[in-house]
Amino acid sequence: MSWQHTERPSFGLTNKLSTSIATILAKSNTPNLRNSPTLMCISDYSGEHPTGRWNIASFLLLNPDKCIDWEYARQHLRSKWFRDGRRMSYKKLNDIQRRRALLDFLIAADQIDGVCVTFAVDKSIETLFTEDSSMDEFPHLSWPNHIFERAMRIIHFASFLIAGLSAEHQNLIWITDEDAIAANHDRLREFVDISKPVLSNYLSHTLGHVRIGTTELDSGDRSIEDLAAIPDLVAGFLSECLTEMLSDQLMPVRGVISPIPRGVVQKAKNLAAWYANPNSRMTRKLCAITPAPSGQGLLTSWIQFHAFI
């Protein structure tokens, strides 16, 4: 079984998500990430642009020792397109070399036996937490409130996924993007400090060694940077697609297939076509979190992209 659900009603939103993702992953050809000594989680985020309507957090979970096909394809891609060491990035796809390399990069990414789960939170939602989950629990922090909220969302989403996909005594490596939550070594250390109790609270089993860092851990061969580029691309294109969908009132409705809005830029359309590929070894899931129509509580919707030939 790919997902381990533990019923915890007090967890509220994530307990509801755990119930639904267990059903969704059971219907997919989802790889079992427990049969390996190490679980790696790589996360990237989008939504800081003022025109965006969503805060996006994308997580890629995999077993690094089982990525042989990806590693071979990645090294070939670097020798072909990126001999100068440049990095793949959604924001930098205006660069012609990156655009030319994108298809090869995405084909390589499809060789990863992993799970990519993305959470899109409507920006009209100020907080996902109760008053009990405030910065008062961490008196040593001097973070702006919006950075703390962003960090706590990311930590809870990551902890939720790690708890559901990991195994007893499995080692964990979590690589987070170097944005405001880990902008420097001091901020990263504080981020790690507040992550530990949250992760521990979600786990119903004991992990092995736990290491949390940024892409600075890359050895110089860009192996970590290239993995991190996958959730970066996913978060970037979903931010654009979902913003246009919301603006055009084309948000998906259960049982109805909606087209990609015309206003979506071409690079996002190209990535949407890849994201919809049903033959990839990488499972992709998207959860949108919006205010409930009644105005009370939150609505969670799992959105599926479809490929049309």
Tens digits of per-residue pLDDT, 244-273?
Answer: 988 777 676 776 777 788 889 999 999 999
Residue 1 lies in a domain: no
pLDDT (tens digit per residue) in 160-170: 999 999 999 99
Q: 3-class SS at 59?
A: strand
Beta bridge partners of 122: 54
Q: Locate the DSSP E strands across the chain.
A: 38-46, 54-62, 114-122, 171-176, 210-214, 283-291, 298-303
Residue 59 lies in a domain: yes
The crossing angle, in degrees rounded to 10, of helices 96-109 and 266-275 is 10
Residue 50 lies in a domain: yes
Residue 4 lies in a domain: no
Asked whether the predicted pLDDT for residue 99 surpasses 90, the reply is yes
Residue 203 lies in a domain: yes
Residue 244 lies in a domain: yes
Among 113, 17, 117, 115, CA closest to 61: 115
Domain count, the chain: 1
CATH of the domain at 70: 3.30.420.10
Q: And the tokens for 296? A: 């009370």
Asked whether the predicted pLDDT for residue 185 surpasses 80, the reply is yes
Share of the chain above pLDDT 70, in %: 95
Query: What is the distance between the alpha carbons of residues 124 and 292, in angstroms, rounded to a whole number?
Result: 12
Query: What is the distance between the alpha carbons of residues 7 and 192, in angstroms, rounded to a whole number?
Result: 26
Residue-range definition of the domain harbouring residue 295: 9-303
Residue 167 lies in a domain: yes
Asked whether the predicted pLDDT for residue 132 surpasses 60, the reply is no
| pTM (two decimals) | 0.94
User: Cβ contacts of residue 108 below 8 Å, gap of 6+?
Assistant: 70, 73, 74, 76, 77
Residue 309 lies in a domain: no
